[in-house]
Amino acid sequence: MFVRQLQYLVALARTRHFARAAELCHVSQPALSAAIQRLEEELGIAIVRRDQRFQGLTPEGERLLGWAQRVLTDWEGLRQEAARSRGEITGTLRIGAIPTTMPVVPLLTHLTGAGGPSRHPPGGFLALRRRLDGFELDLGLTYLEDQRLGGFRVLALYRERYLLLAPNNGALSTRATMSWSEAAELPLCLLTPNMQNRRIIDAAFRQAGTAPNVAVETDSAFAL
């Protein structure tokens, strides 16, 4: 029961809503609330600030949350080690990915076999880092150029090349290469400036002593 109580606590901290946390854990809301109350009684501290609705965790609850996340990670590792001892390879691999890396996620997930569903929650880098810090993900896919990766173990998977996409029958159909200065003169469709991919491209334009002529901006690589 103790492991389940910690699972309920982590779900409540993630959703910040009793009903949504209960739905995430596949239990009734009263059952989830009662389990957390029993955890408070067992530990002798108040974990949740309550009113008519969830008001957040107490300072003690915030400290306990970090322990709960680590315990649940260790518990999952223990279960997987027991499975390996039985000659089985099983477990849950939780992958997070920024939107621009989503096309390469299947290159990794197909190697895990077909034993169950694969989930790779998309999101920006800040959400990815928060979930890695909170032991909610096992690995994340993002750009290695980001200075905020300090403290994480990183592994390069591939080197990205930037291509200019244009109509086959247009004025550029005979060109095999193009300089950044030449590309800056074209009406370009680019990702929004807050995305790391766009920052890298803007840096390339700056190094060429120019700036892009942006016609369309979007935060979706698929929309481009």
Q: What is the pLDDT of residues 101-111, one digit of tens each?
A: 877 888 777 76
End-to-end CA gap in the chain: 49
pLDDT at residue number 119 = 56
In a domain, 20, yes or no: yes
- Per cent of the chain over pLDDT 90 is 15
Q: Are residues 13 and 67 in the same domain?
A: yes
Which has the higher per-residue pLDDT, 5 or 137? 5
In a domain, 155, yes or no: no
Q: Are residues 169 and 216 in the same domain?
A: yes
Boundary of a domain, candidates 40, 64, 85: 85
* Average pLDDT score over the chain: 83
* Strand duo 213-218 + 187-191: pairing: parallel
Cβ contact 148:129 at 8 Å? yes
pLDDT at residue number 109 = 77
φ/ψ of residue 114, rounded to 5: -110, 30
* Average pLDDT value for residue range 28-37: 89
Name the pLDDT band for 183 (thresholds 50, 70, 90).
very high
Q: Are residues 69 and 110 in the same domain?
A: no
- Number of domains making up the chain: 3
In a domain, 154, yes or no: no
* Domain membership of residue 25 as a residue range: 2-85
Q: Which two tokens stand for residue 101?
A: 């890396």
In a domain, 170, yes or no: yes
Q: Are residues 68 and 105 in the same domain?
A: no
Instruction: List pLDDT tens digits, range 6-17.
Output: 989 988 888 888
Cβ contact 63:55 at 8 Å? no
In a domain, 156, yes or no: no
Q: CATH number of the domain at 6, please.
A: 1.10.10.10
**pLDDT above 60 for 122:** no
pTM of the model: 0.50
